[in-house]
Amino acid sequence: MTQTVRKSSDVLVIGSGAAGLTLALQLAKQASVTVLSKGKMTEGSTWHAQGGIAAVLDDEDSIESHVADTLAAGAGLCHEDAVRFTVSRSKRAIQWLIDLGVDFTRADSGPNQFHLTREGGHSHRRIIHSADATGKAVHSTLVEQAQANPAIDLLENFIAVDLIRQADPCSKKMRCVGAYVYNREADAVECFTAKVVILATGGASKVYLYTCNPDSASGDGSAMAWRAGCRTANMEFNQFHPTCLYHPLGKSFLLTEALRGEGAVLTLHSGERFMHNFHPLAELAPRDIVARAIDHEIKRLGSDYVLLDISHKPAEFIQHHFPTVWQNCLKFGYDITAEPIPVVPAAHYTCGGVVVNEHGHTDLKNLYAIGETSFTGLHGANRLASNSLLECIVYAQSAAEKISAELADIPEPLPPREWDESRVTNSDEDVVISHNWNELRHFMWDYVGIVRTHKRLERASNRIRLLRKEIQEYYANYKVSNDLIELRNLVVVAELIIRSAMQRKESRGLHYSLDYPETSDIARDTILVPMNFADQEVFVHGGTGV
């Protein structure tokens, strides 16, 4: 089989959300940039983000206050230098978005130009937003700017399979020089090379049965980086959004935390409020506490859901501030201006990820990871609401600064090894993929969910080893497909989550164990290191040995 390089560019960005597009736009003045989108541009997590972006924009607010709130939410595991780095750059990041043309909601009156709301864990109103569709406003602007830039090539329906490594001609250390990428429309694997590669693939919440994330959140970046020899950190901290719509057709439609910031309350079916029993801030407690409280009440009462009620607020206020939530709930038969709505927790955000420095650089030369794919130290054991989009912009800008300073001195990649499909065939048993897919997500939800025990984690560990072997055997013998690539990545990420959870002998933030309910006096990150490639069988596809 003859392998040709589909495209060679200065920079290859895998992922087309806020982080990836921000970096692409920052570098486009001096570099050729290829951006790969797994599906359509509008299918990622950024597009669906409702709440907003946390930033110090009010004179009554301060960097110290935002830092303190982030550290408190992170339950002792935030890296204070990363927190200060991010928060101190928040105003600059927001101004860049404003200059690009993002249409943030304006204030009706008062000293601030823009309306700022408050969310759980924040001591001030500091969430700048575009009604309740901030992600769409930000992402659509970034996409429009990228499409208009001749230095940026945006490609849809391309999913990366694995990173390409070569020995650096100067240092002899391994470096990243591109990726093997599955072209979904052509049903073929193609090769993309670049001086620098950026992983901006988002999180891994699709590893759970119930998630408010889009289908693309399958941990691709974390899995590829792990297979390429990069460390991961704190993968046990998976944030479950407390309030997702409970409806068989709703596909866990997220109900923004800003609803509770503007007065929505959580109640039992009887109408009785319960959050004051779990935290002094009640509905404005950090997300892990709210999610665990809801989970507790659901299990205690044998219910399928609890209720979220903002109907006591004026209908005009609700429709003005939450038009997306109001309209979407109406589609499912609920009028939030007149009645409470059923909600359940769902997997929402991956706080851990690929270990990076303040520039987003990983352990592998010329490989960067930004956004939810990365572990910067910002989120600790629990992400403070609306810090995620901020992290995307800040670290994309920081990575771009570093890459810009070094790009001219990076040698061009050598011709990569061919992608070999000579010993694989088309599958006639795709039921294996769907079966393993369902089993994986079910036992992750049951055994590695909101509340954990050592016995549950052991069960999950035993199952994941068997699944990994089955999936590897399938991957080694059949042509790749989108579902197989995602399943292969999900099983890697699931194992990283399980291994990380088993190492943490305490309850902290998003990791709550019935066997270890107390919090240790010493806060430690859970760092997993790929010791060698011998135990990473997922590298082998046919005869490539990739």
Number of Cβ within a 10 Å radius of residue 248 = 6
Task: Tell me how many degrees the CA angle 69-214-302 measures, rounded to the nearest 5.
Answer: 75
89 catalytic? Reply is: no
Catalytic residue selected from 175, 260, 287, 441: 287
- How far lies 88's CA from each of 82, 92, 121, 208, 342, in Å? 10, 8, 19, 34, 38
- The DSSP result for 221-240, as a single string, is HHHHHHHTT--EE-TT-EEE
Q: Where are the alpha helices (DSSP H) in 119-203?
A: 134-147
- Residues 193 and 177 sit within 8 Å (Cβ to Cβ): yes
**Distance separating alpha carbons of residues 74 and 72, to the nearest angstrom:** 5
Which residues lie below 8 Å from residue 534, measured CB to CB, with a gap of 6+? none
Q: Residues 248, 249, 251, 254: is their CA dihedral positive or negative?
A: negative
What token pair was written down for 178?
């591109």
**Distance separating alpha carbons of residues 61 and 69, to the nearest angstrom:** 12
Number of Cβ within a 10 Å radius of residue 151 = 17
- How far lies 14's CA from each of 35, 219, 460, 485, 492, in Å? 6, 12, 30, 15, 18
Beta partners for 191? 5, 180
Q: Classify residue 16 by its DSSP letter.
A: -
DSSP E strands in 210-283: the ranges are 232-233, 238-245, 265-267
**Distance separating alpha carbons of residues 198 and 399, to the nearest angstrom:** 9
The backbone torsions φ and ψ at residue 319, rounded to the nearest 5 degrees and listed phi first, read: -65, -30
**Distance separating alpha carbons of residues 347 and 258, to the nearest angstrom:** 18
Identity of the residue numbered 84: R
Map residue 55 onto helix, strand or coil.
coil
**Distance separating alpha carbons of residues 85 and 378, to the nearest angstrom:** 9
Active site residues: 287
